[in-house]
């Protein structure tokens, strides 16, 4: 029997941090048994299709004045919009202490969401788990148990309630009835606290006490997709540890938010397009009172026509700075985005984060653009313009991958068509690109993502279509100005969009 030493904790923290700091982001909240949830209580949520989550958990327990420390590892994969598979290995330290903890099996399981969509408050799911015991005792090593649970979750932006009940067959002991519940509360966009109760009862002898534990903890989102989890618990029966401390780091790949370099060679673009499934291009119909008299036959996206009211569409362009785009022959550089304007940055010391975001939402910063290596052009600090044409691109055919800023081949084809109309129109003085997201995710995350998408559209028009960077402005609008119900997939696609406005000076009006 080995006692815990401080070096194990130091080793675990360093290993956990370094092992995941370079992962691509996606919201990562798998529990310590691999199933999406809190720490010991799973939820009815499932990981989205194509995502792969991983986590490392430190589990320190005390039983009869002896301490045991194990380091389980978990992996979770989204197999569809309502299915995930998960697995766990009990102890990466190989210190032979798994026999003395309740983490002494390699698990493989599957969870299926039976009721509720991904955006629904109420969800019901079922999971099935196979457990293979790993032990230094030959009589225990290799024995196999099976189990299943029915899970229910009710979750809003502020709180969530989770519960489960299930059954497990045990090869070396009596079968068990499983149960658990949890309550979570979001206190900031990055932090939520929770309490959990988990336990089991032996089926053949209900008078015999099974394990029953209570814990409290928190989850802190270091980034939108990197999560730190902490919990401390106490055993409420003799079959449970006297106390327990759990910490873990989990992350996911598959939903990145980094800006990727724009392809620089025409051959690379053609090679990418050749690998993609050919999708029929959508006809672009300009949303303009000059051209809506006889529109061409339109796909669904072009049926959304919002004629501009010439007397009301006066726009004041106030630029807060310039975004520096990498030159066309640079394969690795990313755009440089200047810090927030002084009037917004000055509020950081006195204004809470949510109020800062709301301030930006009311007046989203407008940025000019400049290509690195070219002579900088200083835009006028403020200029009154009139919008006379608008093109709207709702995300009905997939202009961006979810959570990403890189344009898809379909989006590039449509922008190439639009560039022809831009070059043919000699009335415009400036173009403004406004990008929007749906309302899933935090406000700050949505503003950052929408600004990066607007920059990506502008970069394509400048680097690929040869438009003048000094005449293009961009704005990230976040989840503002929703066009449709964000609770449906169709509505979210309508809200995820970018718009290009043709602006002319007042004297041209």
Same domain assignment for residues 315 and 220: no
What is the SS3 string spanning 1-19? CCCCCHHHHHHHHHHHHHH
**pLDDT of 344:** 42
Domain boundary among 205, 228, 253: 253
Structural domain span for residue 191: 6-253
Residue 93 C-beta-side C-alpha neighbours within 13 Å: 28
Residue 258 domain-assigned? no
- Give a yes or no: residue 259 inside a domain: no
Give the CATH number, domain containing residue 233: 2.40.160.40
What is the three-class DSSP state of 303?
helix
342 and 380, same domain (yes or no): yes
- Per-residue confidence of the chain (509 residues) as pLDDT tens digits? 334 444 444 444 443 443 333 333 334 477 888 899 999 999 999 887 778 889 999 999 998 888 889 999 999 998 877 899 999 998 888 888 877 777 788 999 999 999 988 778 899 999 999 999 988 888 888 899 999 999 999 998 889 999 999 999 988 888 999 999 999 999 987 899 999 999 999 888 767 778 999 999 999 988 766 889 999 999 999 888 899 999 999 887 654 333 334 444 445 555 555 665 555 555 555 554 444 443 333 343 343 335 565 544 556 555 566 666 665 544 444 555 555 555 444 444 434 443 343 444 456 777 877 665 554 455 555 667 888 888 888 887 677 777 778 888 888 888 888 888 888 888 888 899 999 988 887 888 888 888 989 999 998 898 888 888 888 889 888 888 888 887 787 888 888 888 898 888 766 44
- Tell me, yes or no, whether 183 and 275 share the same domain: no
DSSP E strand stretches across 208-335? 212-223, 226-235, 243-253, 314-317, 319-325
- Mark whether 245 and 312 lie in a shared domain: no
Q: Where are the beta strands (DSSP E) in 10-121?
A: 52-63, 66-70, 73-78, 83-89, 105-115
* Residue found by looking up tokens 């749906």 in the block: 438
- Look at residue 69 and tell me if it is in a domain: yes
Residue 180 lies in a domain: yes
- The backbone torsions φ and ψ at residue 455, rounded to the nearest 5 degrees and listed phi first, read -65, -40
Q: For the chain, what is the domain count?
A: 2
Count CA within 13 A, CB hemisphere, residue 141.
7
Domain final residue, candidates 253, 288, 306? 253
Q: Give the whole-angstrom CA distance, residue 54 versus residue 75.
A: 4
| Positive or negative torsion for Cα 286, 292, 296, 300 | positive
In a domain, 1, yes or no: no
Q: Which of these three, 253, 285, 301, is where a domain ends?
A: 253
Same domain, 280 and 369: yes
Domain-located, residue 134: yes
Q: CATH no. for residue 361? A: 3.30.1330.60
Same-domain status, 230 and 334: no
Q: Judge if 151 and 300 occupy the same domain.
A: no
Are residues 424 and 383 part of one domain? Answer: yes
């Amino acid at each position: 029997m080995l006692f815990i030493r401080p070096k194990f904790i130091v080793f675990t923290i360093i290993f956990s941090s370094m092992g995941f700091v370079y992962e691509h982001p996606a919201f990562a909240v798998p529990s310590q048994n691999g199933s999406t949830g809190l720490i010991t209580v799973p939820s009815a949520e499932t990981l989205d299709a194509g995502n792969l989550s991983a986590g490392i958990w430190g589990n320190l327990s005390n039983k009869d004045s002896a301490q045991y420390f194990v380091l389980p590892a978990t992996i979770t994969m989204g197999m569809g919009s309502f299915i995930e598979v998960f697995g766990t290995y009990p102890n990466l330290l190989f210190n032979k202490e798994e026999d003395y903890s309740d983490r002494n099996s390699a698990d493989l399981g599957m969870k299926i969401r039976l009721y509720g969509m991904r955006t629904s408050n109420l969800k019901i799911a079922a999971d099935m788990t196979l457990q293979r015991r790993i032990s230094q005792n030959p009589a225990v090593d290799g024995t196999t148990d099976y189990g299943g649970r029915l899970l229910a979750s009710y979750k809003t932006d502020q709180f969530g309630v989770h519960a489960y009940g299930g059954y497990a067959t045990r090869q070396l002991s009596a079968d068990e009835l499983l149960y658990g519940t949890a309550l979570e509360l979001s206190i900031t966009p990055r932090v939520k606290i929770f309490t959990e109760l988990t336990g089991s009862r032996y089926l053949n002898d209900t008078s015999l006490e099974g394990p029953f534990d209570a814990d409290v903890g928190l989850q802190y989102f270091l980034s939108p997709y990197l999560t730190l989890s902490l919990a401390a618990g106490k055993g409420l029966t003799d079959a449970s540890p006297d106390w327990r401390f759990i910490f873990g780091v989990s992350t996911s790949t598959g939903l990145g938010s980094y800006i990727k370099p724009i392809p620089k060679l025409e051959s690379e673009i053609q090679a990418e397009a050749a690998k993609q499934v050919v999708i029929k291009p959508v006809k672009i119909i300009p949303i303009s009172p000059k051209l809506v008299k006889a529109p061409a036959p339109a796909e669904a996206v072009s049926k959304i026509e919002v004629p501009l009211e010439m007397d009301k569409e006066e726009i004041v362009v106030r630029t807060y700075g310039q975004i520096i785009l990498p030159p066309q022959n640079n394969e690795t550089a990313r755009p440089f985005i200047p810090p927030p304007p002084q009037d917004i940055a000055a509020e950081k010391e006195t204004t809470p984060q949510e109020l800062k975001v709301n301030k930006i939402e009311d007046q989203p910063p407008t940025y000019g653009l400049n290509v690195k290596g070219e002579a900088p052009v200083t835009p006028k600090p403020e200029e009154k313009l009139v919008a006379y044409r608008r093109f709207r691109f709702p995300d009905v055919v997939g202009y961006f991958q979810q959570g990403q800023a890189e344009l898809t081949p379909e989006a590039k084809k449509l922008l190439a068509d639009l560039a022809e109309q831009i070059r043919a129109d000699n009335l415009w003085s400036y173009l403004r690109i406004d990008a929007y997201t749906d309302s899933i995710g935090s406000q700050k995350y949505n503003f950052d993502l929408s600004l990066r998408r607007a920059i990506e559209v502008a970069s394509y028009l400048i680097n690929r279509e040869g438009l003048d960077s000094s005449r293009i402005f961009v704005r990230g609008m976040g989840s503002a100005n929703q066009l449709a119900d964000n609770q449906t997939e169709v509505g979210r696609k309508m809200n995820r969009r970018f718009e290009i406005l043709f602006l002319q000076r007042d004297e041209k009006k």
